[in-house]
Structure 1
């Protein structure tokens, strides 16, 4: 897709890159990627969401085209940087969406700033406690590539190459040690949890546990989707996000509402 604007944002010695798709509706969406990836795998979702508002796709420091920070950032550090961006842009109570590790960042953002982030969306959230090691997560990631479409694998690989393996490995520690299960019960935000029904990384029992832990939550599974479900099923995911932003509970055809 053609971005309307690409620019950098610096705060406290850390710089992120923002890709913006502007919509005519005043609604605002902020998209946060997972480990090692960047903006590319969000392009299809951003194109759909831009029909209903302005979309801000962030590349966190060290990922994609964003320069590496002086030191590795914790999940809490990343959440604080996203909060600084939202404040600097004057975004009024945006709907913030995180995929995979990005779901950790979005959750911590909602914890740090409950009044400014009323609705969040967690897609394929990690780390599933049934695979608590980096090796276990790596094996599940390899499994996921067998369930994704060729184009999804290609776009994820493109993002991985832009970020590079060194920064990926540096970021792995903060992701593996962040305890999402401790954060979720403390949230005041409305939480929409989405997973592809074939996702081997963020599995069904873990998704149901997250839905039970978050006080105000809803869990939806997308038929046929794997981990990168926002790329392979952008229309369904966008419809869910927009409906969540409006406070609704509609479902795209075939999706299963599990609570």
Structure 2
């Protein structure tokens, strides 16, 4: 297993956490009684949350999942439940109190699994640009949607995404397959904590009917749309999403 890069992305303390044959990178920044967990999407890493992390008032834990960002490649890509179990083990080991878990894209699937499999570790959930709707659980269909989204966003975001995808290594197709074969529909009705479902108003990856269906399926679900954003939602400009998250948490 290669040595992970522990360079800070959020100006926090970075450490590697290994459980079994899988290693994640966790960066801890900020302080306070509220704790936030940031889980990135497919082909990304914790660096995409730098802007959002600065806008959250509390302790922030951002992770690079195994095989993404600076985390070394696992023997085989983890399933969404596997990612959730690894994160939960880290939260326990690090003494992190129950978190508001914010998952973007594929990270929303991990966040949902974490809330269901480890409810004692989760206070609230934010599912940003949740994937994958039942009509698009195929690798080619998802790739086409991502290309449509990429064509409409800031070149700086594209450059960051390309860099992270290259770091994700030669197993990216296997990782995409692990994402699209996961069925989040079975998980959403079992989320017991308050949940905010966020969608960028111009997101071609997460259709509005799908995201509203996700919110409706969660017993304490709430839907909100961020104007002017595509699938990147919180990456290009985290301000509107951070404001909506704060409003959501203030009502708990």
Same fold (TM over 0.5): yes
Taking the aligned partners of 1:81 and 1:42, their CA distance within structure 2 comes to: 20
Does residue 1:47 correspond to 2:54, yes or no?
Answer: yes
**Equivalent runs, 1:4-23 vs 2, <5 Å:** 4-23=12-31
Please, which of 150, 167, 180 is the counterpart of residue 155 of structure 2?
A: 150
Instruction: Point out where structure 1 has 5 or more consecutive residues left out of the alignment.
Output: 249-259
C-alpha displacement of 1:4: 2.1
Match of residue 255 from structure 1:
none
**Local SS of the residue matching 1:115:** helix
Asked if 1 retains the 8 angstrom alpha-carbon contact of 2:91 and 2:121, the reply is no
Structure 1 moving runs of 4+ over 4 Å? none
3-state secondary structure, aligned to 1:137: helix
| 2:28 pairs with 1:28 | no
For residue 2 of structure 1, report the CA deviation from its aligned partner: 4.9
Residues 1-259 of structure 1 mapped to structure 2, 5 A cutoff:
2-23=10-31, 25-49=32-56, 52-164=57-169, 166-248=170-252
13-22 or 75-84, larger mean C-alpha shift: 13-22
Kindly state the Cα deviation for residue 247 of structure 1 after the two structures are TM-superposed.
3.4
Contact kept, 8 Å, 2:10 with 2:50, in 1: the verdict is: no
Higher mean alpha-carbon deviation, 29-38 vs 128-137, is at: 128-137
CA RMSD of aligned residues (A): 1.4
Give the total of aligned pairs.
Answer: 244
Contact conserved, 2:99 with 2:124, CA < 8 A, in 1? Answer: yes
Q: Secondary structure at the match of 2:187?
A: helix
Q: Secondary structure at the match of 2:167?
A: helix
- Residue matched to 2:3: none
Distance 1:243 1:182 in 2: 28
TM score, norm. by length of structure 2: 0.92
Contact 2:149 2:205 in 1 (8 A): yes
Contact 1:40 1:159 in 2 (8 A): no
Secondary structure of the residue that 2:179 maps to in structure 1?
Answer: helix
Q: Structure 1 residues 242 and 91 mapped into 2: Cα distance closer, same or farther (>3 Å)?
A: farther
Q: TM-score, normalised by structure 1?
A: 0.90
Measured against aligned partners, the alpha-carbon deviations of 1:47-104 in whole angstroms (never above 9, x if no partner) come to: 212xx01211100111111011122211111010011111111111110110101100
2:30/2:60 contact within 8 Å kept: yes
